[in-house]
Amino acid sequence: MDMAGGAGVRPGCQEAEMRKLLWLAVLLALVLLPLGAYVRLSQAGLGCPDWPGCYGQLSPAHAAAAIERAMQLQPDGPVSPDKAWKEMAHRYLAAALGVLLFCLWWQAWRQAQRLAMASLLLLVLLLQAMLGMLTVTLQLRPWVVTSHLLLGMSLFALLLAAARRAQPRVAVLPAHGRLVTLLLLLVLGQIALGGWMAANHAALACQGFPRCNGQWWPDMQFTVTPPAWPWAVGTSVALPAAALVALHWLHRLGALLLLCVLCCVVGGLWRYPVLRRSLCLLVLLAGLQLLLGMLNVLWLRPLPLALAHHVFAMLLLAQALGIRCRVQPSACWHGLRAVRRRAFLAGRMLPRAWPGRRSGAQGE
Ligand code: HEM
């Protein structure tokens, strides 16, 4: 009987099986997340106003009569068969990802292998499902939409990090490790700002690039009543134009800050040759993301470009996390542990040559 769980299956095969599941989950997430953005951008977020079904049914086809009634009541409203199918397609894919991650967890549990990772992924997915429900039931409140976006992108980045073959860690100076952590946090912050701006419909509040509505420092309003910030209530709260400008401008300033920190990270880590390929990819992704952001502004956010901006945010976060995992301070910590272990081993061999080491002898 195999102690790892699967009778007669070698650990290497089990690892390969899990990796296959993980890659499948990565591919699914790569479709699921942009589909979610597409649902939002095509105003289909409330295509089915309840959750998890559509008017309590399994599919919009089963709910045709209810959808018809909703359309009669509100011909230009958020409900139509088309929108309902988009929304439900997103939910079906999310459910498929849930099943995949549950299988992964089950396998990890049976084989007692990578259980912490599988549990974390499942937990994030469950939280994400809860936020998905709140997105619909609380009618697209900006803080829910933003959290849903941020957690979804984090899930994708975690999936990719788990699916990739573990690469050797690189011991870097602690300051460099902290710089990479800062970059990762800034990417997360920038994604949150982007989602927040998109959820508040502020994408077109600033016309032109690099200036906003012809100004270097546009008129902005940072406080509004009721509060527009993460705890803002309901989609019905139309923010004043100057508050929308503030949201948009913050996203641009965030990108500028991110660019500065990225330069420092690349400048700092370039001295480690094994990291250079990853750094080049990071710079490429960030450069394309900035370009897409600019083009979204200049061309008034055409759907394909808005989706591409979404996809590149996912990839950028995944790459930043990948680098963070390789240079994490544990690399230094491992080094420290190795030194301690050597000292300990040396200490064990020392007693005879080092009388002071024997406290017992001193007491005798
Ligand atoms: C590396 C830097 C950037 C990151 C990580 C980033 C990330 C994001 C994210 C995650 C969204 C929300 C997308 C969605 O909800 O589907 C977004 C929206 C947006 N971003 Fe960026 N962004 C960056 C830079 C920029 C720049 C430099 C600009 C403009 C100059 C820009 C313009 C926009 C616009 C107009 C939207 C709204 C699109 C929409 O409504 O779907 N972004 N950004």
Model pLDDT for residues 217-232, shown as the tens digit of each residue: 999 998 876 555 545 5
Closest ligand 1 atom to 297 CA: 35
Residue 341, pLDDT > 70, answer no
Confidence of residue 15 (pLDDT cuts 50, 70, 90): confident
Please report the pLDDT score of residue 190 as a whole number. Answer: 98
Average of per-residue pLDDT across 307-335: 84
DSSP string, 110-154: HHTSSHHHHHHHHHHHHHHHHHHHHHHHTTS-HHHHHHHHHHHHH
Residue 201, pLDDT > 50, answer yes
Higher pLDDT, 267 or 169: 267
Q: Give percent of the chain above pLDDT 90.
A: 76
Average of per-residue pLDDT across 68-90: 95
Pick the residue whose CA is nearest to atom 17 on ligand 1.
194
Which three-class secondary structure state does DSSP give residue 332?
helix
Q: Beta partners for 215?
A: 212
Average of per-residue pLDDT across 133-146: 92
Pick the residue whose CA is nearest to atom 26 on ligand 1.
293
Which three-class secondary structure state does DSSP give residue 212?
strand
Residue 237, pLDDT > 60, answer yes
Determine whether 15 is an active site residue. Answer: no
Task: Write down the catalytic residue from 15, 17, 87, 364.
Answer: 87
Across 263-345, the runs of DSSP E, i.e. the strands, are: none
Which three-class secondary structure state does DSSP give residue 54?
strand
Average of per-residue pLDDT across 25-29: 98
Closest ligand 1 atom to 195 CA: 12
Tokens of 125: 């997915």
Mean pLDDT of the chain: 87
Tokens of 123: 């937990």
Pick the residue whose CA is nearest to atom 9 on ligand 1.
194
Please report the pLDDT score of residue 332 as a whole number. Answer: 46
Task: Respond yes or no on whether the N-terminal peptide bond of residue 78 is cis (omega within 30° of 0).
Answer: no
Choosing from 251, 261, 291, 297 the residue with most ligand 1 atoms within 8 A of its CB, the one to mutate for a pocket test is 251
User: Which residue ranges make up each domain of the chain?
Assistant: 11-166, 170-355
Confidence of residue 165 (pLDDT cuts 50, 70, 90): confident
Please report the pLDDT score of residue 14 as a whole number. Answer: 79
Pick the residue whose CA is nearest to atom 10 on ligand 1.
191
The residue among 121, 124, 271, 265 whose CA lies nearest residue 187 is 265
Pick the residue whose CA is nearest to atom 2 on ligand 1.
255
Please report the pLDDT score of residue 10 as a whole number. Answer: 63
Tokens of 115: 């259980």
Q: Residues lining ligand 1, CB < 6 A?
A: 37, 41, 149, 187, 190-191, 194-195, 197-198, 203, 209, 251-252, 255, 258, 286, 289-290, 293-294, 296-297, 301, 306, 309-310, 313, 316
**DSSP 8-state symbol, 223:** -
CA atoms within 13 Å, Cβ hemisphere of 337: 7
Closest ligand 1 atom to 153 CA: 10
Average of per-residue pLDDT across 95-119: 96
Average of per-residue pLDDT across 325-346: 59
Compute the distance between CA of residue 210 and CA of residue 77 in angstroms, rounded to an integer.
36
Geometric angle at alpha carbon 71, from 307 and 39, rounded to 5°:
10
pTM of the predicted structure, to 2 decimals: 0.86
